[in-house]
């Protein structure tokens, strides 16, 4: 009796969902973040549902199995636009974004009421590598001096500290590809001393990002500039929302997401910018680390380049943009602070351009190249630049390193455009769910 | 004798812990909804449903955790919160434990919190929890001196280290007016020791939950409960030290305490939602270079005022 009462109460909780992102899976998160009754959590230990969103490449299936087994029972897995692993072929798969929130809630209710069994464990409950420690307490490989128990090197004081001389044991770990604070798909081998990054080796490049179809069309034929600029602003607002959530400004992240979903030529970003300034985002969080050298900035391109003072923007070569009086905005700093100021300034600029272009019904005129939100796309699509992290991150603290990664758009651009979600308005969506 | 010195104090502390921790969940949810979080269930129900879910979730394990420390840390943090609440006076007569050195006892709660939070992160034997633990030590060492100076400041006019005397000494003027730097500094200490909002360096989102990133089920419920309870204990101490505790017209003393504690809680939770997390290095610099000198000034101010 008592248990059923507890289960009934638990079934009414916000559904804690841990997203494991596959290709192009992140777009659905923008919608789920605004859905009442769903809570996107950061750790698989805090989740009741594992949501695999987007296709996961076969070489990441083993990592996905390990992630799957980290969820505490009772839990279920839901596959959104993704093929279930062979062992989980009977799992629920949903491809319709409209149906996803309700499916997540139903799964949670079924788990709590006992109508659905917890997902089975896929891997044996043992360490991934054999125990190779020695000694009575088994904490060392060779005596107390290291070795590789469980296949990992001991935390050893083998490196000089690169910050202030306070040497702590170095710890080498593998991060990603499903760590939600990193770009989807990014995997790295990282050596840390305390919270200081000693070395960073990018092992898995982040998945290519899908851009809205209008950027692909702009390479085929003239497209309305208003549409192009609104798509650009949307992309940047969604990146900003991710970074704001990371820095603990959940409510402003939601403001940015709502703005991006209802974006039109009348939208303005000035109020969000003022709130960010007042709450100390630029001084306390995006406090100017992760400075790109000119070469690195050029390689990343786009906002990162212009935030480092490079006046590179393909839009200035387009006659239609020149008629709108377009000149690129640039910053000097080249660091996290400059990149977010640049992002906000460019969103604002895009909205103004969109407004004027719509009034004058202007179309882009240059079809051999397009400035995407990720950088210039001329003969080649913008390519993955995540290897610059190897030079950029050592010497930064964990928080600074993550803030730096979040401020950079490093993934390459996918050859496939973003599949448009349906046009349901945000207000309807939220009201219906509530 | 048994009723007044054992049962009543224990009841008061436990009831405040339970009701207070629940109210922290309710107020935080209400603030979140007011700031635009998607409206789901009512704020009154949300803490209960989340608690129920955590009770049904399995308590997971990690690879070779330090079991005893890992399971004990949330309980110890909760016990520290209860210890802190035990010295909070509700009226001249209703004081769970009226130690003559209750201010010192609260100081030890603040110091031991650092140990317990480090233990929670370290014993999980996983990376993100460990980083949270490391970071918290840096923060804990930074706020503790500020707290001591500020608390000595309120003990001076009372000429006592007893919270009931500190409250009594505010009969003419509350310390929040008498020592204007005190309460703002102490609120920052409170956000630090509960690692809340801008000072959430231990359990933050960039660490996927930090020291709690690898915890699930009932131990996570205890940890969440303990964090909320520590906020309640802190608000009780802040209300006693700066807002005149039970003092106030018309209403009975304990009711005044409840009102003042709720005000402090609401302010802390609002700051927690409105201000971004401070980068650890910036945070430590801020504490040592700006806030610590300010706490000196607060102490000198209090000393001069006591002499005059």
Q: Does A403 touch chain B (CB under 8 A)?
A: yes
Note whether A263 and A226 are same-domain residues: yes
Predicted TM-score (pTM) of the model is 0.93
Q: Does A430 touch chain B (CB under 8 A)?
A: yes
Q: Which H or E run contains A63?
A: helix A61-68
Q: How confident is the model at residue A156 (pLDDT cuts 50, 70, 90)?
A: low
The last residue of a domain, from among A159, A176, A204:
A204
Residue A137 clears pLDDT 60, i.e. is over it? no
Note whether A189 and A221 are same-domain residues: no
| pLDDT above 90: percentage of residues in chain A | 71
pLDDT tens, residue by residue, B237-266: 999 999 988 988 998 989 999 999 999 999
- How does DSSP classify residue A206? P
| Interface touch B32/A250, C-beta < 8 Å | yes
| Interface touch A251/B36, C-beta < 8 Å | yes
Q: Does B34 touch chain A (CB under 8 A)?
A: no
Q: Is B229 helix (H, G, I), strand (E, B) or coil?
A: helix
Domain assignment present for A124: no
Q: Does A248 touch chain B (CB under 8 A)?
A: yes
Q: How confident is the model at residue A220 (pLDDT cuts 50, 70, 90)?
A: very high
What is the interface size between A and B, counted as CB pairs within 8 Å? Answer: 164
Distance CA A376, CA A368 (A): 11
Residue A430 clears pLDDT 80, i.e. is over it? no
Q: Total domain count for chain A?
A: 3
pLDDT tens, residue by residue, A368-404: 999 999 999 998 999 999 999 999 999 999 999 999 9
Residues of A in contact with B39 (CB under 8 A): 36, 430, 434
- Four-point Cα dihedral B116, B117, B122, B126, nearest 10: 140
Note whether A160 and A41 are same-domain residues: no
How close is the nearest chain A Cα to the Cα of B298, in Å?
25
pLDDT of residue A9: 92
Q: Is A366 helix (H, G, I), strand (E, B) or coil?
A: coil
Q: What is the mean pLDDT of chain B?
A: 92
Domain assignment present for A135: no
Note whether A317 and A176 are same-domain residues: no
Q: Does A16 touch chain B (CB under 8 A)?
A: yes
Residue A303 clears pLDDT 60, i.e. is over it? yes
Q: How confident is the model at residue B172 (pLDDT cuts 50, 70, 90)?
A: confident
Q: Does A383 touch chain B (CB under 8 A)?
A: no
Q: Which of B189, B295, B169, B184 is nearest to B234 (CA)?
A: B189
Strands A38-40 and A76-80: unpaired
pLDDT of residue B38: 85
Q: Does B290 touch chain A (CB under 8 A)?
A: no
Note whether A98 and A220 are same-domain residues: no
Q: Which residue of B has its CA nearest to A400?
A: B279
Q: How confident is the model at residue A155 (pLDDT cuts 50, 70, 90)?
A: low
Residues of A in contact with B55 (CB under 8 A): 6, 10
pLDDT of residue B95: 86
How close is the nearest chain A Cα to the Cα of B124, in Å?
12
Q: Does B41 touch chain A (CB under 8 A)?
A: yes
pLDDT of residue A169: 75
Domain assignment present for A133: no
pLDDT tens, residue by residue, A36-61: 999 999 999 999 999 999 999 999 99
pLDDT of residue B40: 76
pLDDT of residue A432: 53
Closest CB to B37 among A16, A72, A254: A254
pLDDT of residue A56: 95
Note whether A271 and A184 are same-domain residues: no
pLDDT of residue A287: 75
Note whether A286 and A408 are same-domain residues: yes
pLDDT of residue B248: 86
Query: Which candidate in A398, A404, A429, A434 is best for mutational testing of the B interface (most B CBs within 10 A)?
Result: A398
Residue B137 clears pLDDT 70, i.e. is over it? yes
pLDDT of residue A132: 64
Note whether A199 and A218 are same-domain residues: no
Residues of B in contact with A181 (CB under 8 A): 205-206, 208
Closest CB to B274 among A48, A279, A402: A279
How close is the nearest chain A Cα to the Cα of B4, in Å?
34
Note whether A165 and A272 are same-domain residues: no
Helix axes B8-34, B253-274, angle to 10 degrees: 40
The last residue of a domain, from among A159, A181, A204:
A204
Closest CB to B37 among A43, A251, A279: A251
Residue A253 clears pLDDT 90, i.e. is over it? yes
Q: Which of B81, B46, B287 is nearest to A9 (CA)?
A: B46
pLDDT of residue A124: 87
pLDDT tens, residue by residue, B196-237: 999 999 999 999 999 999 999 999 999 999 999 999 999 999
pLDDT tens, residue by residue, B75-114: 999 999 999 999 999 988 888 888 899 999 999 999 999 9
Higher pLDDT, B1 or B157: B157
pLDDT of residue A299: 92
pLDDT of residue A126: 77
Note whether A297 and A172 are same-domain residues: no
Residue A190 clears pLDDT 80, i.e. is over it? yes
Q: Is B45 exposed, middle or buried (0-12, 13-18, 19+ CB in 10 A)?
A: middle
Note whether A193 and A55 are same-domain residues: no
Domain assignment present for A289: yes
Note whether A56 and A169 are same-domain residues: no
Q: Which of A405, A181, A403 is nearest to B281 (CA)?
A: A403
DSSP result, B9-32: HHHHHHHHHHHHHHHHHHHHHHHH
Domain assignment present for A140: no
| Interface touch A7/B56, C-beta < 8 Å | yes
Q: Which residue of B has its CA nearest to A170?
A: B127
pLDDT of residue A135: 58
pLDDT of residue A144: 53
Q: How confident is the model at residue B128 (pLDDT cuts 50, 70, 90)?
A: very high
Q: Does A181 touch chain B (CB under 8 A)?
A: yes
Contact B193, B81 (CB under 8 A): no
| Interface touch A430/B282, C-beta < 8 Å | no
pLDDT of residue A148: 64
Could you tell me the residue range of the domain that residue A276 belongs to? Answer: 213-427
pLDDT of residue A210: 93
Q: What is the mean pLDDT of chain A?
A: 88
Residues of B in contact with A123 (CB under 8 A): none
Residues of B in contact with A31 (CB under 8 A): none
Complex ipTM over 0.90: yes
Residues of B in contact with A42 (CB under 8 A): 205, 208-209, 213
The last residue of a domain, from among A183, A204, A225:
A204
pLDDT tens, residue by residue, A97-130: 999 999 999 999 999 999 999 999 999 887 767 6
Kindly state the average pLDDT of the residues B125-147: 92
Domain assignment present for A186: yes
Q: How confident is the model at residue A89 (pLDDT cuts 50, 70, 90)?
A: confident
Kindly state the average pLDDT of the residues A3-17: 90
pLDDT of residue A338: 94
Domain assignment present for A26: yes
Q: Does B131 touch chain A (CB under 8 A)?
A: yes
| Interface touch A42/B280, C-beta < 8 Å | no
Residue A304 clears pLDDT 90, i.e. is over it? yes
| Interface touch A6/B56, C-beta < 8 Å | yes
């Amino acid at each position: 009796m008592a248990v059923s009462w507890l289960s009934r109460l638990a079934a009414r909780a916000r559904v804690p969902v841990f997203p494991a992102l596959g290709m192009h899976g992140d777009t659905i998160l923008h919608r789920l973040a605004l859905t009442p009754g769903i809570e996107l959590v950061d750790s698989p230990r805090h989740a009741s549902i594992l949501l695999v969103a987007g296709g996961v490449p076969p070489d990441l299936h083993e990592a996905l199995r390990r992630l799957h087994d980290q969820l505490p029972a009772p839990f279920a897995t839901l596959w959104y636009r993704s093929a279930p692993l062979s062992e989980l072929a009977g799992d629920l798969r949903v491809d319709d974004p409209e149906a996803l929130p309700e499916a997540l809630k139903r799964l949670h209710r079924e788990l709590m009421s006992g109508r659905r069994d917890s997902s089975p464990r896929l891997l044996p409950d043992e360490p991934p590598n054999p125990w190779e420690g020695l000694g009575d307490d088994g904490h060392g490989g060779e005596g107390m001096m290291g070795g590789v128990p469980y296949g990992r090197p001991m935390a050893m004081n083998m490196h000089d500290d690169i910050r202030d001389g306070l040497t702590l044991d170095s710890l080498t770990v593998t991060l990603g590809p499903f760590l939600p604070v990193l770009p989807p798909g990014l995997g790295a081998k990282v050596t840390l001393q305390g919270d200081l990054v000693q070395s960073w080796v990018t092992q898995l490049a982040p998945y290519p990002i899908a851009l809205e179809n209008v950027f692909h069309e702009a390479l085929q034929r003239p497209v309305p500039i208003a549409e192009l600029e609104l798509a650009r602003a949307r992309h940047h607002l969604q990146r900003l929302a991710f970074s704001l959530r990371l820095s603990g400004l959940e409510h402003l992240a939601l403001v940015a997401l709502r703005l991006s979903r209802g974006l039109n030529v009348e939208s303005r970003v000035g109020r969000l910018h003022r709130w960010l300034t007042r709450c100390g985002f630029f001084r306390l969080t995006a406090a100017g680390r992760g400075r790109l050298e000119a070469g690195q900035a050029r390689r990343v391109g786009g906002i990162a380049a212009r935030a480092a003072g490079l006046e590179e923007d393909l839009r200035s070569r387009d006659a239609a943009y020149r008629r709108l009086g377009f000149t690129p905005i640039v910053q000097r700093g080249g660091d996290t602070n400059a990149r977010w100021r640049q992002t906000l300034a460019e969103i604002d600029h895009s909205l103004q351009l969109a407004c004027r272009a719509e009034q004058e019904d202007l179309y882009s005129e240059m079809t051999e190249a397009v400035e995407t939100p990720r950088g210039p796309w001329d003969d080649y699509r913008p390519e993955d630049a995540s290897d610059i992290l190897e030079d950029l991150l050592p010497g930064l603290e964990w928080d600074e390193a993550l803030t730096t990664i979040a401020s950079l758009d490093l993934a390459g651009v996918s050859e496939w455009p973003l599949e448009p979600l349906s046009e349901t308005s945000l207000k309807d969506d939220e009201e219906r769910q509530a | 004798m048994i009723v007044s010195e054992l049962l009543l104090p224990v009841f008061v502390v436990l009831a405040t812990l339970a009701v207070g921790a629940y109210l922290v969940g309710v107020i935080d949810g209400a603030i979140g909804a007011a700031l635009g979080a998607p409206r789901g269930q009512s704020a009154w129900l949300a803490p209960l449903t989340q608690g129920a879910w955590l009770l049904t979730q399995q308590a997971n394990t990690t690879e070779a955790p330090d079991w005893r420390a890992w399971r004990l840390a949330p309980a110890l943090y909760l016990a520290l919160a209860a210890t802190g609440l035990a010295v909070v006076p509700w009226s001249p007569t209703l004081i769970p434990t009226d130690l003559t050195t209750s201010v010192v006892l609260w100081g030890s709660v603040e110091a031991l919190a650092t140990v317990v939070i480090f233990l929670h992160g370290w014993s999980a034997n996983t990376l993100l929890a460990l980083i949270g633990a490391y970071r918290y030590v840096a923060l804990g060492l930074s706020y503790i001196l500020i707290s001591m100076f500020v608390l000595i400041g309120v003990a001076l006019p009372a000429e006592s280290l007893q919270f009931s005397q500190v409250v009594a000494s505010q009969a003419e003027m509350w310390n929040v007016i008498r020592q204007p730097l005190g309460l703002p500094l102490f609120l920052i200490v409170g956000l630090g020791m509960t690692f809340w909002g801008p000072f959430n360096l231990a359990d933050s989102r960039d660490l996927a939950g930090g020291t709690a990133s690898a915890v699930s089920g009932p131990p996570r419920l205890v940890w969440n409960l303990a964090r909320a309870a520590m906020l309640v204990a802190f608000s009780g101490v802040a209300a006693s030290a700066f807002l005149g505790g039970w003092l106030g017209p018309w209403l009975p003393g304990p009711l005044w305490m409840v009102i003042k504690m709720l005000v402090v809680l609401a302010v802390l939770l609002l700051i927690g939602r409105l201000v971004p997390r401070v980068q650890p290095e910036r945070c430590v610099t801020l504490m040592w270079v700006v806030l610590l000198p300010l706490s000196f000034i607060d102490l000198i101010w209090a000393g001069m005022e006591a002499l005059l």
